[in-house]
Amino acid sequence: MSDTTTHTSGEEYDPFAVFEEVTGAGAVTDPYPVFAELRAECPVHAGGFEGRFGPVAGVDPALLNEGPQYTPLSFDAVQAVLKDGETFSSSAYADSMGLVMGHSILEMDEPEHHEYRSLIQQAFTRKAMERWEAELVGPIVHGLIDDFAAEGHADLVRQLFWPFPVHVIAGMLGLPAEELPEFHRKAVELISIGVNIERGLEASQWLYDFFAGVIAERRQTPRGDVISVLAEAELDGQRLTDEEIIAFLRLLLPAGAETTYRSSSNLMFGLLTRPEQLASLRDDRSLMAAAIEEGLRWEPPLTGIGRTATRDVDLEGVHIPAGSPINVCLGGANRDPSRWDRPDDFDLAREPKQHLAFAFGPHMCLGMHLARMETTVAINAVLDRLPDVRIDPAAPAPQVTGLTFRAPSALPVLFD
């Protein structure tokens, strides 16, 4: 179950190494002082982060948008942008993610977005979630922990948090276990579009053919998994085409697995580096929901998303011309000092308040309940199964890194 590596052409293939390379992990350690400085100057920065973080490792500068753009950083400015999908369109994703995913929900505006989302949502019911928790998430998380529980040490990122959400998604889609390594590999390559267009496009085509085959099978013999539900979903006589289902399935891995591995790792990092908070959560699991929200507020897996202004608009007194790219800074919003005291501190005793890690408005994360459930199961399992789990003092100190995507590369721990 925990074997996430596979062999190709006689060479050892390590998807995590490829993943680290393509997401440029490690390039930026702490972007929050820059977010704070810009936000203090103005809630909406006229520009992007030009040069402030140096060249972004692994990303071809030609692919970075260097034209005039605007960066909302305060909670109110970010929320206002995300609430108003008519003024702030998602369509520009078609030129980036759309190249490898196809026309996915992410790049749709209303009314198309609403119709499509209502169909997709039929696969994410409360009942489905209860089944996934019992049949998939629990067994997958415990199966991965079984592999190292007797050893007294582990890297919780590589051995648990990175693999588990991909296994869960493969299970939700009803893919056989033997297809998982290749599926995982292609999913990683899909998001490598930023550094290697050819590899990203090849993976995209591979996943297209793969899913087209699975959809044909499920249309013949439905099996109750997500692909079968999507193949049968209907609303007011509308059904999803193969093309639409495939675009969603190709989005699901980057959207669902990459983010959940990061949010679980970031939360665990917050807890491990604050042992008194770890102990209070271990002793009182009713704090779990608050801990998860605080982890998401403090270190959201995704610090920025994109929109485009469809008309001239004034935002917090800043004039934005039609056509401007908007660099929506979720990370800045989540540490806005006018909303949270000591915003840079991870503190699970905070009074709960809406944060923007899952965005807001029409595109607010479709998988947020699933992500919360998965994180609850994974963190509870760590606390139950690894007594006295603590950072390994002999290993390099873990650190959350990254600019847009953030997570620690490793969480080396000891336990009794």
Binding site for ligand HEM (CB under 6 A): 90, 105-106, 117, 251-252, 255-256, 259-260, 263, 300-302, 305, 357-359, 363, 365-367, 370-371
Identity of the residue, 25 or 305, whose beta carbon is nearer to ligand HEM in the bound complex: 305
Identity of the residue, 22 or 302, whose beta carbon is nearer to ligand HEM in the bound complex: 302
Rounded least distance, CB 365 to ligand HEM, Å: 3
Rounded least distance, CB 370 to ligand HEM, Å: 5
Rounded least distance, CB 359 to ligand HEM, Å: 4
Distance CA 99, CA 190 (A): 10
Residues 6+ apart with CB under 8 A from 86: 109, 110, 310
Identity of the residue, 134 or 397, whose beta carbon is nearer to ligand HEM in the bound complex: 134
Identity of the residue, 93 or 415, whose beta carbon is nearer to ligand HEM in the bound complex: 93
CB closest to ligand HEM, residue no: 367
Identity of the residue, 43 or 256, whose beta carbon is nearer to ligand HEM in the bound complex: 256
Rounded least distance, CB 107 to ligand HEM, Å: 8
Identity of the residue, 196 or 308, whose beta carbon is nearer to ligand HEM in the bound complex: 308
Identity of the residue, 148 or 161, whose beta carbon is nearer to ligand HEM in the bound complex: 161
Rounded least distance, CB 314 to ligand HEM, Å: 22
CA angle at residue 206 from 201 to 209, to 5 degrees? 125
Q: Which tokens belong to 356?
A: 């923007």
Rounded least distance, CB 331 to ligand HEM, Å: 11
In Å, how far from its chain's centre is CA 175?
A: 21
Rounded least distance, CB 239 to ligand HEM, Å: 19
